[in-house]
Structure 1
Amino acid sequence: MAHDVWVRGPIGLDAASRVTRPGCRTVLAVVPTVTAGTRLFELISLLERDLRVQVMFTVPHSTDRWAGVEEYVRAQHGLLLPWEQAVAHRFDLVLAASHRHLDQVRGPLMLIGHGVGQVRPRRFSRKGGATAETTGLDRELITFRGRVLPAVLGLATESEIGVLRDRCPEALSAAVVAGDLCLDGMRAAEGRRERYRRALGVGSRRLVVLSSTWFTDSAFGRVPRMYEAIVNALPEDRYAVAAVLHPNIWAVHGRRQVTAWLGGCRGLRVIPPEQGWQATMIAADWVIGDHGSTTGYAAAMGRPVTLAALPDGQARTGSVADIVRARTKALDAEQPLECQEQAAIAAAPRLAAEVLPAVSSRIDCSAGISRSAMYRLLGLSEPDTLAYPPLPAMPRPLPGWGS
């Protein structure tokens, strides 16, 4: 996109001369990463059908922008505004699932998390080193020059209220415990499990999903040879294997390189970063993962879990990653995989019972709470229909994989 060329869209002083639907409330979604974008598209699904609402998107410009984000938004057919145009206008509602650049946008802001909860699994930041503990609710992230940035700060659990009270008490008035829209959508889609499995070509075989967050302490960072080893070790007539990698892995290393690294994994179903991981987790019989959100969601859904990697340093006490670590076994290269699978199956019910309340305090209620919060900021009456979470899209492995 040429950043000095503005879009002739539904905002601006002369917008009335070109719009077909006049008088709409304007909503801006700020999409700095694919991960944030997937969360925002879930949230936007709760209001975008309203004839009174116009949704737009923007990708912040900075010197360290993640690759592929504009292409991702365009592939979803969102109206994409140049960043310079977006920050020059005031919107009736701004939606964000990341803390990046929020001081620059104008309009009442609703900020939600882009993973499991707003409290990170690590005690320390990837960038800051092991010097001071950090959370997603720190004052430096949600205020700017003494001003609380979000008008609504969406939290997943009641326990996050306590973290906020400790880290940034001035933001308590903005906090709304809304639960987890992603989890609720996955729970609502459990009845589609067989459809998802058919889309993955699993048949009657057991589906093993290899899940990895990003960074050097992730499963893909620590044990990259695990993917080929597991594919080769499991009998092909009884098992199918899929890989779910964090979007930042693809953004940093590039699709060509990531698929080349996995090139020796014959039959591996590689799930693209844009969509499909939720459905793949629903379809799974066993998840081998790490401290990332995808593994946490799998555990909350009752899927058996084995850990292939843990974060550098300690996982945050009480976090989803910490609970998963305490209730699962580590992958052991010396032990038969099928024995480790049986151990994970035996531990799954207790794991789910402990993880589920750590993921959400508003099980199956997030759509209604989130929609009410957005309409309150928009100053519009809510539709008289029930709000439902969006169901996960069908999983579509990358072409050429899984055959």
Structure 2
Amino acid sequence: MDRTVLIAAHTVASLMRLEDIIPLIEADQRVQLVFTQVPDELGDGVEQRLKNLEVRVIPWREATLRSFDLVVSASLHQMERVRARRRFAAPHGAGYNKLWPLLDWSGDSSARPVYGLDRESLLHNGVPVFDAIVLPHTDHLETLARQCPESLKHAVVAGDPCYDRLVTSLLDRDLYRSKLGVRDSQILVAVASTWGPQSLMATQRDLLTRLPSELPANHKVIATLHPAVWAEHGARQVRVWLREVRDAGVDLIDVGEDWRALVTSADVLIGDHSSVAVYAAGVGVPLLLSHFPATEVDPNSVMAELARLSPRLDPTRGLREQLMDALMARPLQWDAAARRVTAAHGMSAVIIRQTLYRLLELAEPPMIARWPSVPVPQLVRDE
């Protein structure tokens, strides 16, 4: 075997991002992929997902003792412990929107850096950890140059594979809607929550219960939760907690399922400061913000720009009227998100594969690199 590549999965969310990238190299018989689970407090579910993928898995301790030609990860911590000739950091989220969490920051709160493009994330003993850092947009080069100039030479503006797959999947919108149980005459309202104390789920869980009764009968509601919600609380616990929500008429994308088919199918999305909200706006889905925790978000990010352009949920007004407000804001939302979520529309597969093979010092295969449509997600069903 010519090259051995370690795929390092920290969480289900990061593993799902890696699953987008893996097909670019896994069919090459010169390349052997080996997977490992990196210790992470939100790592619940990774072991089972790796088992379902039927890939070769080695323990993290073994991964830190062996040598590899390349390590690929979508989270940044502990990668300096892997002995690899080259290290590749895949994008995780719709750009770099969030600031360092206040609870983890000991300095001046106003000086918190943009998370993921800072020295703490990208350097070890003052030396860059990664040989390639995929950035979705040229905007991120400015942030990286300001926060961690040592890593600037390793940046690759490659676009966003998650967004490009979402765009590709628009062609299958009718199929997704049918499989999700949406009738032709129905308006699909998607609800997306990130994780943590400032998320929609943590601050406005009652919204999900209210939606079916406050919206007209021709509206269908389907919700999706960040994988970290399931990891932090346990899938069984989340399903039990949200049983009353499902009893009220809201469907729920199940743990570990791909949310992109839901976004592709949606007529409008109610969301918080999650990447799902940015991606939805980027493919033309009207966005109604449940709320916006400005202290958690980089004021220069695409998420902050969307917040300035988007209506906020108002409990004193009718929901149908507010969905119309989102529809009116759609052109400006779409323009901002599509312009800033990626600087290489439709090119991420090509550029990322070029980068991977450059790091592996192998010639690329002759076939064109492209992304497939996303799978149909399973909904939570009563056992």
* TM-score range relative to shorter protein: over 0.9
Alignment counterpart, residue 112 of structure 2, candidates 105, 108, 133: 133
Mapped to 2, the partners of 1:113 and 1:186 lie a distance apart of 15
Residues 46, 35 of structure 1: CA spacing in aligned structure 2 closer, same or farther, 3 A cutoff? same
Mapped to 1, the partners of 2:69 and 2:371 lie a distance apart of 23
Alignment of 1:230-249 (within 5 A): 230-236=211-217, 238-249=218-229
Mapped to 2, the partners of 1:352 and 1:59 lie a distance apart of 37
Equivalent residue for 2:69?
A: 92
Equivalent residue for 2:10?
A: 32
Which whole-Å deviations, capped at 9, do the CAs of 1:11-58 have from their partners, x for residues lacking one? xxxxxxxxxxxx241111110111110111101111111121111110
Mapped to 1, the partners of 2:38 and 2:344 lie a distance apart of 31
> Which has the larger share of helix?
2
Q: Report which stretch shifted further, 387-396 or 175-184.
A: 387-396
Equivalent residue for 1:15?
A: none
- 2:176 pairs with 1:196: yes
Tell whether the 8 Å contact from 1:217 to 1:312 is kept in structure 2 after alignment: no
Equivalent residue for 1:318?
A: 300
Equivalent residue for 2:210?
A: 229
Q: Give the drift of 1:127.
A: 2.6
Mapped to 2, the partners of 1:125 and 1:356 lie a distance apart of 29
Mapped to 2, the partners of 1:25 and 1:231 lie a distance apart of 53
Alignment of 1:276-355 (within 5 A): 276-311=258-293, 313=295, 315-355=297-337
Alignment of 1:3-402 (within 5 A): 23-61=1-39, 64=41, 66-107=43-84, 108-117=86-95, 119-122=96-99, 124-125=101-102, 127-128=104-105, 130=109, 132-135=111-114, 136-204=116-184, 205-236=186-217, 238-265=218-245, 266=247, 267-311=249-293, 313=295, 315-400=297-382
Which whole-Å deviations, capped at 9, do the CAs of 1:86-126 have from their partners, x for residues lacking one? 11111111101111211111211100221011x23346555
Mapped to 2, the partners of 1:120 and 1:103 lie a distance apart of 24
Q: Give the drift of 1:337.
A: 1.2
Gaps of 5+ in 1: 1-22
Q: Report which stretch shifted further, 51-60 or 290-299.
A: 51-60
Tell whether the 8 Å contact from 2:271 to 2:290 is kept in structure 1 after alignment: yes
Which whole-Å deviations, capped at 9, do the CAs of 1:189-239 have from their partners, x for residues lacking one? 111001010110011211111100001111111101110011222234x11
Q: Give the drift of 1:331.
A: 0.7
Q: Give the drift of 1:336.
A: 1.4
Mapped to 2, the partners of 1:124 and 1:357 lie a distance apart of 27
Mapped to 2, the partners of 1:211 and 1:65 lie a distance apart of 19
Mapped to 2, the partners of 1:400 and 1:313 lie a distance apart of 38
Equivalent residue for 1:5?
A: none
Amino acid at match of 1:134: P
Mapped to 1, the partners of 2:355 and 2:319 lie a distance apart of 46
Tell whether the 8 Å contact from 1:103 to 1:149 is kept in structure 2 after alignment: yes
Amino acid at match of 2:155: A
Amino acid at match of 1:170: E
Q: Report which stretch shifted further, 127-136 or 327-336.
A: 127-136
Amino acid at match of 2:58: L
Mapped to 2, the partners of 1:255 and 1:178 lie a distance apart of 34
Q: How many residues are treated as equivalent by the alignment?
A: 376
Mapped to 2, the partners of 1:245 and 1:294 lie a distance apart of 10
Residues 24, 199 of structure 1: CA spacing in aligned structure 2 closer, same or farther, 3 A cutoff? farther
Amino acid at match of 2:138: E
Q: Give the drift of 1:128.
A: 2.1
Equivalent residue for 1:20?
A: none
Mapped to 1, the partners of 2:295 and 2:358 lie a distance apart of 41
Tell whether the 8 Å contact from 1:291 to 1:311 is kept in structure 2 after alignment: yes
Equivalent residue for 1:9?
A: none
TM-score for both structures, normalised by structure 1: 0.90
Residues 352, 123 of structure 1: CA spacing in aligned structure 2 closer, same or farther, 3 A cutoff? farther
Mapped to 1, the partners of 2:147 and 2:189 lie a distance apart of 39
Query: What secondary structure does 1:192 align onto?
Result: helix
Amino acid at match of 1:297: Y
TM-score for both structures, normalised by structure 2: 0.94
Tell whether the 8 Å contact from 2:42 to 2:231 is kept in structure 1 after alignment: no
Amino acid at match of 2:29: L
Amino acid at match of 1:292: S
Amino acid at match of 2:244: G
Amino acid at match of 2:203: R
Mapped to 1, the partners of 2:258 and 2:297 lie a distance apart of 27
Residues 143, 362 of structure 1: CA spacing in aligned structure 2 closer, same or farther, 3 A cutoff? same
